[in-house]
Amino acid sequence: MDVVELSVRLFLALVFGAIIGLERQWHHRLAGVRTNALVATGSAAFVLVGLLAVGEPSPTRVAAQVASGIGFLGAGVILREGLSVRGLNTAATLWCSSAVGALSGMGSSRAAALTTVAVIVTNLGLRPLARRFERRGPTGSELDVEYRIETTCREADEAHVRALLLQAVAREPLMLRRVRSEEVSGTDKTRITIDLTSAGRNHSAIEQVAGRLSLEPSVSAVTWETAEESTDY
């Protein structure tokens, strides 16, 4: 294998990896153009090592090691935030970029190009379909949803209402982010505001918390809202 052939294979791996990374960069993901291009180029280089090694009986063994080794890089872009997990799609894209690089390194440019197209179509074409099903699901999305509950009660009963509020939240699959109390000017009322996070839409849990508080005689108003809507009691 001459230098020209080596250069062509590495160049194709870089180009195909960069094309995949452009979509990730456009959507502001952790692994963008450079990361995917490097993964593809590195995978191609490792495959070329197996092809160029003297006396190597099975060059495909190197490609198999690349496929398993890329998992460590993919794990680095997977983040757990509360009850949700982010970065799985980016990690899978890196894995596909590695496959594209391996195919380019083996000289299968057509297969590498088809795989690149398949990855782009999957990330772009299936995104609207996935979001449509997410909205129909019970929690609506894998992304965290922020809720805010505002409760107005008598100032003398603030501690009691706060305790009830925290107990009600603890029974639901919700993460408490912040609790704030402030006096309502010109009255003997106190407004208690809590910010919550849920792994996906979970209106039923918020309804349970708000409904429980609305039964308290000292509570005069309960309001909960997301970025989309609000509900008053």
Asked if 19 and 93 sit in the same domain, the reply is: yes
Q: Of 107, 136, 165, which closes a domain?
A: 136
Paired residues of 89 in beta bridges:
none
Host H or E run for residue 225: strand 219-225
Same domain, 12 and 126: yes
The domain in which residue 148 lies consists of: 144-232
* Regions in the chain scoring below 50 on pLDDT: 81-83, 137-142, 229-233
Whether residues 17 and 93 share a domain: the answer is yes
Residues 97 and 152 grouped into a single domain: no
Same domain, 116 and 196: no
pLDDT of residue 160: 86
On whether both 130 and 156 belong to a single domain, the answer is: no
Q: Which of 36, 26, 6 is closest to 100 using CA atoms?
A: 36
pLDDT of residue 231: 47
Per-residue model confidence (pLDDT) at position 166: 83
Q: What is the model's pLDDT at position 121? A: 81
Our CA angle for 46, 50, 51, nearest 5°, is 115
pLDDT (0 to 100) of residue 83: 45
Question: Which of 80, 107, 136 is at the close of a domain?
Answer: 136
Half-sphere exposure in the Cβ direction for 22 (13 Å, CA): 10
Instruction: Count the domains in the chain.
Output: 2
What's the gap between Cα 52 and its chain centre? 39
User: In terms of domains, do 11 and 41 share one?
Assistant: yes
Domain-terminating residue out of 136, 165, 192: 136
The reply to whether 204 and 105 lie within a common domain is no
Structure tokens at 203: 């209106």
* pLDDT in the model for residue 76: 66
Question: Given this model, what pLDDT does residue 138 score?
Answer: 46
Here the CATH number for the domain that contains residue 165 is 3.30.70.260
Q: What is the CA radius of gyration of the chain?
A: 27
**Alpha carbon separation from 95 to 70, 91, 110, 125, 177 (Å, rounded):** 6, 6, 19, 19, 35
Q: Tell me the per-residue pLDDT of 16-49, one tens digit each, with 9 for 90 and over.
A: 888 888 877 776 666 677 777 878 888 888 777 7
